Structure 1
Amino acid sequence: MSETAVTASTTFRERLYVTPWIWPLPLLAAGLLAAEVHMGFPGVRSWLPYLILLPLTAVLIWKMGSAKVEVSGGELRAGDARIPLDLLGDVEIIAPEDRRKAMGPHLDPAAYVVHRGWVKPLVRVRVNDPEDPTPYWMISTRRPEALVAAIKS
C-alpha cells in the first residue's frame, strides 16, 4: 500500500488508497440504480446503465484514493500542494481518538487539509512562513511516525 525510500532523496512516500472494504457499498448502490433503470426501459437502454454507472463508480472510488503524501527533494508534498521543509515548524501526531476534535472544533479554517476518513491517524505540521496565511497542514497518513521522522530529518 505504501512505499518508502524510493530514491536517495525520497525519504517518505505514501498513497492514501481507499481500503477494499469501502468498495462494495458504492458498487452495490450503482448496481441497484442501474437495475432500476433496467426495469423501466427495453432494448439498449436496459443494459446501458450498467455499462455507464458501474465503471464510473469504480473510477470515482479510485480517484478518491489518488492523494499522495511524500517527503523528497527537501519538500513536503500532500495532495496537490508542496512546501519546502525549511518553512516547517513543529510536527505533531494526532491519535485516532483525538481526530474528531482536531478535524472539528479545533480545526483552523485557514489550515491546509489532506484528510481521508478511512485513514485514522493524522499529522499536524506547523507552517513558519510569515508570507503564508496557512497556520498548519493537517495530513492523513497510515504511518505517522515515519512521516514525522522524514520531515524532521
Structure 2
Amino acid sequence: MSLSPSSPSPTPPVSPAAAPTAGHSERLGLPWWLWLAGVAAAVLLAAELWMGYSGVRAWLPFAVLPPATVLGLAWLGRVRVAVLDGELRVDDARLPVRFVADAIPLDAAGRREVLGVGADPLAFVVQRPWISGAVQVVLDDPADPTPFWVVSSRRPVELAEAILAARDAG
C-alpha cells in the first residue's frame, strides 16, 4: 500500500509513559542589587578594618571579606525549585505529586497571610524574602503530619500549573 503525498501519514500512538511530563524549573537566586549591596558592604567593612595600617592588616580584610561575602550570597541563592519526574523538588526535599491535593499560587499578600500570625508550625516552608510570589501546596497524605508546603517562586502561577499537571498526568 502506498500513500499519496496528499494523504496524511499515519502517526504512531503515543503511550502515556512516552508522553512528555509537565516541567518547571527555577533557581531562587538573589537580585543583582542585593549582590551589589552585599559586595559594597564587604568592601566598606574591609576599608574600615584597614584604616591606613600597613602590613597584613592592609590586605587581609580585602582578601577575606569580599570573597566570603560572594560565597555567602551564592549560598543564599542556591535553592532550586523544579517539577520533574513526578516530584516537586525544592533544594534537597522531594514531594511525590501523587500526594498533592491542590497547588495555590500566592502573591505577596497571600504569602504574608499564610506565613503570618496564624501560620501552621508543621508546614514545610522554603521562603526567600526577596521573592514576592509563592505557591502553597496542600497535601493529601494521612501518614504525613505536614499539612502543606509553601515555596517561594518568581512564577507562582506556572509552578502551580506544573504541579497540578504532573499530578494529573500520574
2:126 & 2:95 partners in 1: Cα distance? 14
Residue of structure 1 in register with 2:50 after alignment: 38
Code of the residue aligned with 1:120 in structure 2: it is: S
Give the whole-Å Cα distance in 2 for the aligned partners of 1:99 and 1:21: 23
For the aligned residue pairs, the C-alpha RMSD in angstroms reads 1.5
Distance in 2, matches of 1:65 and 1:74, equals 24
* Residue 151 of structure 2: aligned partner: 139
Q: Could you tell me the TM-score, scaled by structure 1's length?
A: 0.89
Find out whether 1:13 has 2:48 as its counterpart: no
Q: Quote the offset at 1:100 in angstroms.
A: 2.0
Matches within 5 A, 1:1-153: 8-9=20-21, 11-39=23-51, 41-153=53-165
> Which of the pair has more CA radius of gyration?
2
Unaligned stretches of 5+ residues in structure 2: 1-19, 166-170
Using the size of structure 2 for normalisation, the TM-score is 0.80
Q: Which amino acid aligns with 1:97?
A: A
Mapped contact 2:102–2:164 kept (Cα < 8 A): no
- Give CA-to-partner distance per residue, 1:125-147, whole Å, 9 cap, x none: 01111111111000110111111
Corresponding residue SS for 1:116: coil
The whole-number CA distance in structure 1 between the counterparts of 2:40 and 2:164 is: 44
Size of the aligned set, in residue pairs, is: 146
**Percent same amino acid at aligned positions?**
42
CA contact under 8 A between 2:105 and 2:136: conserved in structure 1? yes
Amino acid at match of 1:68: R
